[in-house]
Each structure stands twice: as C-alpha cells, then as structure tokens.
C-alpha cells in the first residue's frame, strides 16, 4: 500500500465527512478503512472475517477514490509471509 493512500483516507476521516472512510480502488473496495471513535464499540462487537462489512454499507461511509488496484487482504500470517515475497507496488 502506498503512503499516499494512507494519507488520503486519513484526511477524509479527519475532515469528518462521515463516521467511516474507506478506499475505493479501480477493481473494488479495499484497505484501509478508518472508523471514527464513536464507531469503535460497534466494530468491537462484530465477529468473523466478514463482520465489518455490515458497518461499511449504507450512507455512513465516505468512499475515497484511489488510483490503481486494491492491495491484497492479508488475514493470516501465511498470507502476510506470501505477500512479502511479491514486488512492492510502484
């Protein structure tokens, strides 16, 4: 993930445009997702790999358009190790 992507999502969250800011890439949604502090209790009550998807649907989300494909979703240590063997994005 490019540092500029993190800055763009952070800036959208800081502007308080919505309680949730998430990245929309050319090929769909991806990380990062930023939750305002008042969303944390709701997020912490979620369970499972797809639990947060219930938070990022509806009108509470600010979508931040990011150029390029979405970064891989690294949910396990094995997926992280595999990603380290791939070339870094430009």
The count of residues in the chain is 90
pTM: 0.69
Q: Phi/psi at 22 (nearest 5 deg)? A: -140, 155
Q: Which residues contact 50 (CB under 8 A, 6 or more apart)?
A: none
pLDDT at 86 over 90: no
Give the span between the Cα atoms of 54 and 28, in whole angstroms. Answer: 17
* Residue 27 and residue 73 in contact, taking contact as beta carbons nearer than 8 Å: no
pLDDT per residue as tens digits for the range 13-72: 777 667 888 889 999 888 888 888 888 898 888 877 666 777 777 677 888 888 888 888
The superfamily (CATH) of domain 3-84 is Spore Coat Polysaccharide Biosynthesis Protein SpsA; Chain A (3.90.550.10)
């Amino acid at each position: 993930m490019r540092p500029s992507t993190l800055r763009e999502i952070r800036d959208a969250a800081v502007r308080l445009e919505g309680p949730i800011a998430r990245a929309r890439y050319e090929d769909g949604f991806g990380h990062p997702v930023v939750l305002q502090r008042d969303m944390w209790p709701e997020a912490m009550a979620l369970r499972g790999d797809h639990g947060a998807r219930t938070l990022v649907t509806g009108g509470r989300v600010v979508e931040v358009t990011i150029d390029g494909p979405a970064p891989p979703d690294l949910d396990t240590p094995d997926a992280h190790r595999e990603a380290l063997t791939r070339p870094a994005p430009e």
